[in-house]
Amino acid sequence: MLSAFSRAFKTPDLRKKLLFTLGIIVIYRIGTHVPIPGVNYENVQFCVDQAKSTSGLFGLVNMLSGGALLQITIFALGIMPYITASIILQLLTVVIPRLEALKKEGQSGTAKITQYTRYLTIALAILQGTGLVATARTGTLFQGCQRANEIVPDPSIFVTITMVIVMTTGTAVVMWLGELITDRGIGNGMSILMFISIAATFPAALWTIKEEGSLADGWIEFGTVILVGLVMVGLVVFVEQAQRRIPVQYAKRMIGRRSYGGTSTYIPLKVNQAGVIPVIFASSLLYIPALVAQFAGGQSEWKTWIERNLTTGDHPIYMVTYFLLIVFFAFFYVAISFNPEEVADNMKKYGGFIPGIRAGRPTAEYLSYVLNRITWPGSLYLGLIALVPTMALAGFGANANFPFGGTSILIIVGVGLETVKQIESQLQQRNYEGFLR
């Protein structure tokens, strides 16, 4: 592995891409520590030090921003608006015929959808930035902190608009940095920045486990958490690489004097076809009741029930609801992202068929049947990955956004595997040995 990395840096083109990617990462991490104007940074640090957990309403966004959200920096919103916009556009592609037609146009249509995603990202950044500023001004961002109401000392409209503009601009810069990595670096830029944001929270979270531990000054808890994390990573790698390969045979065709087709290939259907999207969907949906209860005035029965059952990750009702939502969204996202009828039509158009299955509608029904069968273990796997670390590590002071749990481990492993595969392919193109021997 280390020798493969050394060969990668010895290759001029690949070295340039790797160094460019590292440079963008450094710029991104610097931006996550630059506070926005209008915020009392001393009070923010005081409240951050007092906060014992970020597993509440803003936990997911704070994790994906590398801790910049609670620091209220220029990159406070991180790439969450872009992720949300991408998911929304992907869902609308199935509903709106115009977007579906653009998707089928190829590269030009994809470029237009990307432009729409940028516009929607800016709109969502303005909305989320306004909400963050309002939350910081009312003291809701750090509940229980003595200086929570003093984070934004000047409540004037001018200061509020300035803060929103700065955070929106920061989101646009993050989006631009991600696209630069995609074009001139290694891997998918947005995924790389997401990877870095989550990995940046590892040292502090692990050291918190050690500091709050009671066995042998916390080192036993620290070692146990590391061991559990390695096991979880191995499990995720095993399942993420698992796939069902459906064989496809293409009939031989004679066009003029040349023969085409007659080859065999396969359709790879991953066990976890939906990726990390169902976990993000479920987390976001569970934040809505907590958000409504948080801003609702008074103290009613429904508000008390939500605060007691749907705001803490270790509550049985929360865990059951979270698990069921993940399973539902896994089937939902697979249904809209993989169209068996479209795949069957394309196979029929080019003379392809699955051995033993007639072309056309029988092929679509067979693909749908296989997809439903493998989605069940994939959805259950996602639910367990999201819940097991929360239950197993509860005794060590972990929370729902612990580095080795749920969304974070899925993103870390998925992005890591894809990036390594890209470096591997580029090494093999230059006739070098790759990472795998």
**pLDDT tens track for 304-346:** 777 677 766 667 788 888 889 889 989 988 888 888 888 888 8
d(CA 407, CA 160): 32
How far is the C-alpha of 404 from the C-alpha of 329, rounded, in Å?
22
Task: Copy the structure tokens of residue 91.
Answer: 């869902």
Q: Quick one: pLDDT band at residue 55, thresholds 50, 70, 90?
A: very low
Q: How far apart are the first and last CA of the chain?
A: 9
What pTM does this model have?
0.79
- Beta carbons of 71 and 204 less than 8 angstroms apart: no
Determine the average pLDDT of the residues in 149-171.
86
| Spatial distance between the Cα atoms of 375 and 270, rounded to a whole number of angstroms | 9
Q: Which residues pair with 253 in a beta bridge?
A: 260
Residues sharing a CB contact under 8 Å with residue 311, sequence separation 6 or more, in sequence order: 56, 57, 290, 293, 318
Tens of pLDDT along 62-73? Answer: 666 666 677 788
Calpha distance 379→407 (Å, rounded): 14
Q: Phi and psi dihedrals of 253, rounded to 5?
A: -125, 145
Report pLDDT digits (tens) over 10-30. 778 888 888 999 999 999 988
Strand-strand pairing, 352-353 and 243-250? antiparallel
Using an 8 Å Cβ cutoff, are 195 and 416 in contact?
yes
Enter the DSSP assignment of 433. -
Q: Is the pLDDT of residue 392 over 80?
A: no
Query: Tokens 């005035």 belong to which residue?
Result: 297
What's residue 360's pLDDT?
83
Provide the pLDDT for residue 27: 92
pLDDT of residue 54: 45
Per-residue pLDDT band for 176 (boundaries 50, 70, 90) equals very high
How far is 430 from 287, CA to CA, in rounded Å?
48
What average pLDDT is seen over the chain?
79
211-437 under CATH 1.10.10.10, yes or no: no
Q: CA quadruple 291, 294, 298, 302: dihedral positive or negative?
A: positive
Domain ranges of the chain: 18-200, 211-437
- Fold of domain 18-200: Preprotein translocase SecY subunit (1.10.3370)
CA distance 307 to 406: 22
- Is the fold of 18-200 the same as that of 211-437? yes
Q: Give 340-379 as a DSSP string.
A: HHHHHHHHHHTTEE-TTS-TTHHHHHHHHHHHHHHHHHHH
Query: For 89-98, 199-208, 299-308, 343-352, which range has the lowest pLDDT when averaged over its residues?
Result: 299-308
**Nearest of 428, 11, 365, 25 to residue 191 by alpha carbon:** 25
